[in-house]
Structure 1
Amino acid sequence: MIKYDVYKTPSPREEEPDHFHARAVSKGVITYAQLKTDLEYASSATPGDVSLIMDGIVSQIKRHLSEGESVQLGDLGTFSVGISGPNAIKRKAINATNLEVTDVYFRPRKKLIRDINRKAKFESTRLKHHSIEYSDIEIEALLTDFFKDHSFIARREFESLCGLTRPTAVRRLKMLCSGKYPLLSREGPRNSSIYFPTPGSFHTAHTRQISSDDIGEVDDSRFITR
């Protein structure tokens, strides 16, 4: 049973009415150990066999990703890596010695979405999870913590991080990218933009280097919809 909450999306124009939308509410996290236990009860395999197979799959995924390959895991989807390096003025300044893997992307297959939809049932939650009105200082604190482990943020990640509706997230991101001293810079096409901290903001020291393929898939990965 998927729990959902209904929240209001403020209209960007005063003369237009606000709209209401549904958002999934997570009931918790199923751990790796829990998955192993579930497989043990659902099959005749021993706990040792289950651990051997699952740990082996994880190990092989890591190996292939480290070799620059994308990994398709059955009907679930595809894993791929993202890299980062210095923000250089000259092309030659970026080389194999100053690059590192900073992200792993996951792109679900359409069949996965269809299969989940066929089995999914929905129920309204009694608890309310509406957007929290963070101040500018609180938003900056959340982003500072986020950029300790990530070199850029996508709009949907920003929504999840701050608990904002899409219009509110777009408005706040626009504010962060504007002004005499913007804190973020936007890159990529409008429908799949990603946002980098500007030099010196959020205590960051490097900027993400990405390919055009990354920009096309960033908005559908690395985030969890609540």
Structure 2
Amino acid sequence: MAEYQMQESNLPNEEGKPTFYPRMKLWNQVDLEYLANNINYASTFTPGDITGLVRSLTQEIASQMAQGNSVKVDGLGIFTPSLGLRPGKEREAGEAENRKRNSMSICINNINFRADKQFIEETGRRCILYRSKQKPLRSSQRFTPEQRLKLAQKFLKENPYMQVADYCRLTGLLRDSAAKELRKWAAQPENGIATHGRAPHKVYVNAEF
């Protein structure tokens, strides 16, 4: 059984009135070991077989994307690599006298995934939704400032850098509030957050690295 809440959007409608959208309430996050054990009950494969196969599959998908290919897994979706600039590198401008960005300035910074229609439909067939009895908070009220700081620190331990848009998605804050709070965290050395580059290309990084 799954529950949903009607969450208030950060952006009002054209008339300035609040708008709401359905949001599934997630209870927890399951890992590969959990999935492998569940599959084991309905198949002749051992959890070790399943885990090994999935890891081999992810490595091969990564290898193919590293060679410039997108990867389609029927029934699952399409994986496509996304490029970005390394922390502290400014975007290339069109003027001839400006410095060009070389391969050392560019990296894979994300993997885009587009779910297969069949995968979406299969999930929908298995899902029975009930409206949650708990009243949802505004997205910006889900976390205290201390919790938002910990989210930022955790993100920077797992990723090379963070942009203001990343912090917005993590915390639910609007862009101006998110940018202001990130500047506050970076101004306090004990938080372990530093900056690279200058606006509009400034990013936030783990000060320990």
Normalization by structure 1: what TM-score? 0.60
Q: Secondary structure at the match of 2:109?
A: strand
Q: Is this contact kept in 1: 2:4–2:132, CA < 8 A?
A: yes
Q: What residue is the counterpart of 2:175 in the other structure? A: 173
Counterpart Cα distance in 2 of 1:198 and 1:101: 22
Query: Deviation per CA, 1:143-185, whole angstroms, max 9, x where unpaired?
Result: 965884355566xx6664223xxxxx6xx337779xxxxxxxx
Counterpart Cα distance in 1 of 2:111 and 2:55: 18
Change beyond 3 A, Cα 1:128–1:159:
farther
Q: What residue is the counterpart of 1:68 in the other structure? A: 68
Counterpart Cα distance in 1 of 2:6 and 2:114: 26
Aligned-residue sequence identity (percent) comes to 20
After TM superposition, give the deviation of residue 12 of structure 1 in Å. Answer: 3.7
After TM superposition, give the deviation of residue 122 of structure 1 in Å. Answer: 0.3
Q: Secondary structure at the match of 2:24?
A: strand
Give the letter aligned to residue 161 of structure 1: L
Counterpart Cα distance in 2 of 1:28 and 1:147: 18
Q: Secondary structure at the match of 2:27?
A: coil
The list of structure 1 runs, each at least 4 consecutive aligned residues, that deviate by more than 4 angstroms after superposition, is: 13-17, 89-92, 140-147, 150-154, 157-160, 174-177, 199-202
Counterpart Cα distance in 1 of 2:28 and 2:118: 24
Q: What residue is the counterpart of 2:199 in the other structure? A: 198
Counterpart Cα distance in 2 of 1:40 and 1:104: 29
Which sections of structure 2, spanning at least 5 residues, go unmatched? Answer: 180-197
Q: What residue is the counterpart of 1:162 in the other structure? A: 171
Counterpart Cα distance in 2 of 1:161 and 1:23: 15
Give the letter aligned to residue 198 of structure 1: A
1:95 paired to 2:102? yes
Counterpart Cα distance in 1 of 2:140 and 2:162: 25
Which sections of structure 1, spanning at least 5 residues, go unmatched? Answer: 164-168, 178-196, 205-226
Query: Deviation per CA, 1:164-210, whole angstroms, max 9, x where unpaired?
Result: xxxxx6xx337779xxxxxxxxxxxxxxxxxxx83575546xxxxxx
Normalization by structure 2: what TM-score? 0.64
